[in-house]
Amino acid sequence: MSAVGLAMPLLEADEQDAPLRLRRSASNTTSQVAIVGSNICPIESLDYEIIENDFVRPDWRSRELVEICQYTLMKWILCLLIGHIVGLLGFFINLAVENLAGLKFVVTSNMMLARKFMMAFLIFSSSNLGFTLFATLITAFVAPEAAGSGIPEVKAYLNGVDAPAIFSLRTLIVKIVGSICAVSSSLNVGKAGPMVHCGACIAALLGQGGSKKFGLTWKWLRFFKNDRDRRDLVTCGSAAGIAAAFRAPVGGVLFSLEEMASWWRGALLWRTFFTTAVVAIVLRALIDLCLSGQCGLFGTGGLIMYDVTSVDITYHLWDVPPVLLLALGGGILGSIYNSLLNTVLKIYNVINKKGVALRILLACSLSIFTSCLLFGLPWLASCRSCPSDPSEPCPTIGRSGNYKKFQCPPGYYNDLASLFFNTNDDAIKNLFSKGTDSEFQHSSMLIFFVSCFFLSIFSYGIVAPAGLFVPVIVTGAAYGRFVGMLFGSKSNLNHGLFAVLGSASLLGGSMRTTVSLCVIILELTNNLLLLPLIMIVLLISKSVADVFNENVYDLIMTFKGLPYLEDYAEPYMRQLTVGDVVTGPLQIFHGFEKVSNVVHVLRTTRHNGFPVIDEPPFSESPVLYGLILRAHLLTLLRSKAFSRTPSPVSRDAIALFSADDFAKKGLGHDDRIEDLALSDEEMEMYVDLHPFTNTSPYTVVETMSLGKALMLFRQVGLRHLLVIPRFSGRHPVVGILTRHDFRPEHVLDLHPLLANSRWKRLRLRFPQLRKLV
């Protein structure tokens, strides 16, 4: 009656989905632990399949109409709440940034006006340093998980990888405050990525009924008891984040569909759409409020962030070649951007590992360097005289404007300062604006483009919330405008439109999404006549960049060691069978199992699922009964429903359990075997696992091709896949496949010959080819 393989130590090869911390593979080709916010953390997998056992299933079956309505209503109420909160939050972050950064620019500008240049620089750089320092300090000490964009972590979560604490209240607050400070500090970082992370956080927290750690829980909110429902909420939250950041509700839905989500259903599309519609309405109402001038320096921004509606767009066939060149260049620049970013992240990682002090020092030196550049570079530009009939005051004094005075005499403006000495949003507005073809000098535009390009790469890796979207847009706009200036009057398109197309090309080259970027750009600029050109640009830049490397989020995910599972099988997986990657023996329980065995296995392994088999005399022949989860075993042990002999559990004992006991706990709130105290007598008793076992786990025969098994695993969203033997008479289960076993790195470790095969070579030479097929 002892469990097979009980006496064995923790096995490296077959791990039944233990946290990946335990899995440093010998060859060390890949890091199997996640780097989240400069910390190395274990990762959990998530189970997006609906688990059924005798408790979870009857619960579902016995639900009354009222309960079903409550369940449905709850989903919609949560989406409504997410929409409202994310909408408000997005507005608040914008408001805070505009006012903080605006105040800084107003004060500095006033100093400049009084020609106290040194004083202005000191105020400018010290306030920047202050903001950066604060953002870095709270991130490093309170929530290291809040560093960076957050999109890769959310994307991994939606794929079934749970890095701890990424959705905690602590992370949320640090992300909000840190993002405001980082953006206000004139670092070249964006707020869209952090907004996505915030949206996902809010959704996850609402889905688990609030934050347990801080006692902020509402019982009526704790309605969703499985990973699947929470995943759906997080998808809605991330869509709401993009919608709030760019005031682009449809773009938000599409971004979460195209880039974020790994599983998708029609009903989810609808609910995501509802959430972003709520965000749009909340934003629209708040903007109405600001029209009366109560938002300080936020001004009276409309729903469209960078409006180019008023521009007449006429172009003909001969305008297309310059656009094609622009797109080609954008694709190449995008892939260079991605690979430089990846390199910088690796270098920063070396520094960051050496301690908190160095991390903070890195951020501070970067802030000082940025301040010097922003303040120093405009001096290189010569003052230009204001146009005779400017569309707005020239030179502008104060926060924003197309014609910044900076150090110039009255009647003159500094074109480089209009770009550098501004928030990113204002710089983008300037670059996109029409009727300004003669405003900028070639040299200024080139300086601005190069500085932005490198500043955004160097700013991303610091230990503070930092998005990539807006820096890429502003860099791309500068690039596009520069290309437009090169073509000059040879094109019908004005330089503002070139800037829009330049942004599109760099976004396409870096993010590599198509439909969602297209819609986001349209929602940012509100001019559909550009649509055919934007589509061409995105297609070309993405295709060109795909030849060289992966999209920026995938690179960051790989760098962080998040084991993302793609939805296609590598070609060599079709040559392998499931049996080729499953290596036994494995941990197994019997239907009636000794308590001490269960405890021992749970203590000595970190496995998450165990096959349950019945053997004679309890069945004719050995037979696979099902799969039991670690969490359910712990619930069972805690209840102490044991018996002295291997016999079915009594009805009375079963009545002690409710479906709630088997509900998935909130993130990071799982029980631990170490907290369990059992007497020696109890240890010698037996426990009946049958009612607690999921009797219909997905299974594959050992001769199934690995590629086909992967499709099943990935499409259905599994955490464990049982492998059964082809020939009967043997042990009824051969092994368990988990996410780890499908990872190309693992497969190639096991079968190094494949690495030399034609397929592997192909993959190495043309890593992106498989995505095209």
Chain positions 483 to 522 lying near a second copy, rule: CB under 8 A, are 514-515, 518-519, 522
Q: Which of residues 573-592 bind a second copy (CB under 8 A)?
A: 574-575, 577
Q: Which of residues 93-152 bind a second copy (CB under 8 A)?
A: none
Q: Is 84 in the site for a second copy (CB under 8 A)?
A: no
* Closest CB 562 distance from a second copy, rounded Å: 18
* Closest CB 585 distance from a second copy, rounded Å: 20
Residue 717 neighbours by CB under 8 Å, 6+ apart = 47, 48, 49, 160, 228, 262, 263
Structure tokens at 728: 């009967």
> Which of 392, 567, 681, 684 is close enough to bind a second copy by CB under 8 A?
567
Please give the Cα distance from 596 to 602 (Å, whole number): 10
* Closest CB 469 distance from a second copy, rounded Å: 19
Smaller CB separation from a second copy, 604 or 768: 768
Smaller CB separation from a second copy, 600 or 708: 708
DSSP string for 559-595: HHT-----SS--GGGGTSBHHHH-------EESEEEH
Nearest alpha-carbon partner for 421 in 410, 411, 408: 408
Please give the Cα distance from 732 to 611 (Å, whole number): 10
Residue 120 neighbours by CB under 8 Å, 6+ apart = 108, 109, 111, 112, 375
Q: Is 526 in the site for a second copy (CB under 8 A)?
A: yes
Q: Is 226 in the site for a second copy (CB under 8 A)?
A: no
Smaller CB separation from a second copy, 51 or 598: 51
Q: Distance from first CA to last CA of the chain, Å, rounded?
A: 51
Pairing of strands 699-701, 721-724: parallel
Smaller CB separation from a second copy, 113 or 753: 753
Q: Are 174 and 465 in contact (CB under 8 A)?
A: yes
Please give the Cα distance from 720 to 728 (Å, whole number): 22
Smaller CB separation from a second copy, 404 or 512: 512
Please give the Cα distance from 32 to 23 (Å, whole number): 6
Q: Is 623 in the site for a second copy (CB under 8 A)?
A: yes
Q: Are 403 and 393 in contact (CB under 8 A)?
A: yes
DSSP string for 303-363: SSTT--TTS-----GGGHHHHHHHHHHHHHHHHHHHHHHHHHHHHHHHHHHT-HHHHHHHH
* Closest CB 533 distance from a second copy, rounded Å: 9
> Which of 126, 716, 752, 753 is close enough to bind a second copy by CB under 8 A?
716
Nearest alpha-carbon partner for 424 in 188, 105, 123, 128: 188
Q: Which of residues 155-174 bind a second copy (CB under 8 A)?
A: none
Spacing of C-alpha 329 from chain mean position = 27
Binding segment for a second copy (CB under 8 A), chosen from 3-11, 279-287, 446-454, 586-594, is 279-287
Q: Is 532 in the site for a second copy (CB under 8 A)?
A: yes
3 state SS of 48: coil
* Closest CB 688 distance from a second copy, rounded Å: 18
* Closest CB 745 distance from a second copy, rounded Å: 21
Q: Is 618 in the site for a second copy (CB under 8 A)?
A: no
Q: Is 457 in the site for a second copy (CB under 8 A)?
A: no
Q: Is 712 in the site for a second copy (CB under 8 A)?
A: yes
> Which of 13, 304, 356, 397 is close enough to bind a second copy by CB under 8 A?
304
The dihedrals phi and psi of 40, each to the nearest 5 degrees, come to -100, 120
Binding segment for a second copy (CB under 8 A), chosen from 9-17, 128-136, 322-330, 571-579, is 571-579
Q: Are 125 and 185 in contact (CB under 8 A)?
A: no
How wide is the angle at C-alpha 200 spanned by C-alphas 199 and 201, nearest 5°?
Answer: 90
Binding segment for a second copy (CB under 8 A), chosen from 21-29, 267-275, 381-389, 448-456, is 267-275
Q: Is 207 in the site for a second copy (CB under 8 A)?
A: no
Smaller CB separation from a second copy, 363 or 536: 536
Smaller CB separation from a second copy, 19 or 626: 626
Residue 581 neighbours by CB under 8 Å, 6+ apart = 706, 737, 741, 742, 746, 747, 750
Binding segment for a second copy (CB under 8 A), chosen from 95-103, 338-346, 474-482, 615-623, is 615-623
* Closest CB 286 distance from a second copy, rounded Å: 12
Site string for a second copy, 10-49 (x = CB under 8 A): ---------------------------------------x
Q: Which of residues 382-441 bind a second copy (CB under 8 A)?
A: none
* Closest CB 78 distance from a second copy, rounded Å: 13
Q: Which of residues 651-710 bind a second copy (CB under 8 A)?
A: 695-696, 698-701, 703-705, 708
462: number of Cβ within 10 Å: 29
Binding segment for a second copy (CB under 8 A), chosen from 91-99, 103-111, 490-498, 620-628, is 620-628
* Closest CB 267 distance from a second copy, rounded Å: 6
* Closest CB 96 distance from a second copy, rounded Å: 23
Identity at 503, one-letter amino acid code: S
Please work out the total of residues on this chain that contact a second copy, with binding judged by CB under 8 A.
Answer: 91
Q: Which of residues 739-768 bind a second copy (CB under 8 A)?
A: 758, 762
Smaller CB separation from a second copy, 476 or 707: 707
* Closest CB 301 distance from a second copy, rounded Å: 13
Q: Which of residues 311-370 bind a second copy (CB under 8 A)?
A: 316-317
Smaller CB separation from a second copy, 87 or 102: 87
Smaller CB separation from a second copy, 269 or 750: 269
Spacing of C-alpha 236 from chain mean position = 13
Q: Is 273 in the site for a second copy (CB under 8 A)?
A: yes
Q: Which residue has the tokens 């989500």?
A: 261
Q: Is 523 in the site for a second copy (CB under 8 A)?
A: yes
Please give the Cα distance from 553 to 472 (Å, whole number): 13
> Which of 81, 133, 531, 755 is close enough to bind a second copy by CB under 8 A?
531
Smaller CB separation from a second copy, 171 or 510: 510
Nearest alpha-carbon partner for 244 in 204, 287, 189: 287
Q: Is 548 in the site for a second copy (CB under 8 A)?
A: no
DSSP string for 687-715: EE-GGGSBS---EEETTSBHHHHHHHHHH
Q: Is 77 in the site for a second copy (CB under 8 A)?
A: no
Please give the Cα distance from 370 to 351 (Å, whole number): 19
Please give the Cα distance from 583 to 12 (Å, whole number): 10
> What sign results for the dihedral spanned by CA atoms 398, 400, 401, 402?
positive
Q: Are 194 and 466 in contact (CB under 8 A)?
A: yes
> Which of 568, 603, 665, 670 is close enough to bind a second copy by CB under 8 A?
568
Smaller CB separation from a second copy, 90 or 210: 90
Please give the Cα distance from 191 to 199 (Å, whole number): 12
Q: Which of residues 53-72 bind a second copy (CB under 8 A)?
A: 57, 60-61, 64-65, 68, 71-72
> Which of 180, 233, 277, 474 is close enough to bind a second copy by CB under 8 A?
277
Q: Which of residues 719-738 bind a second copy (CB under 8 A)?
A: 724, 726-729, 732
> Which of 115, 218, 620, 677 is close enough to bind a second copy by CB under 8 A?
620
* Closest CB 765 distance from a second copy, rounded Å: 9
The dihedrals phi and psi of 736, each to the nearest 5 degrees, come to -125, 135
Structure tokens at 661: 């006991």
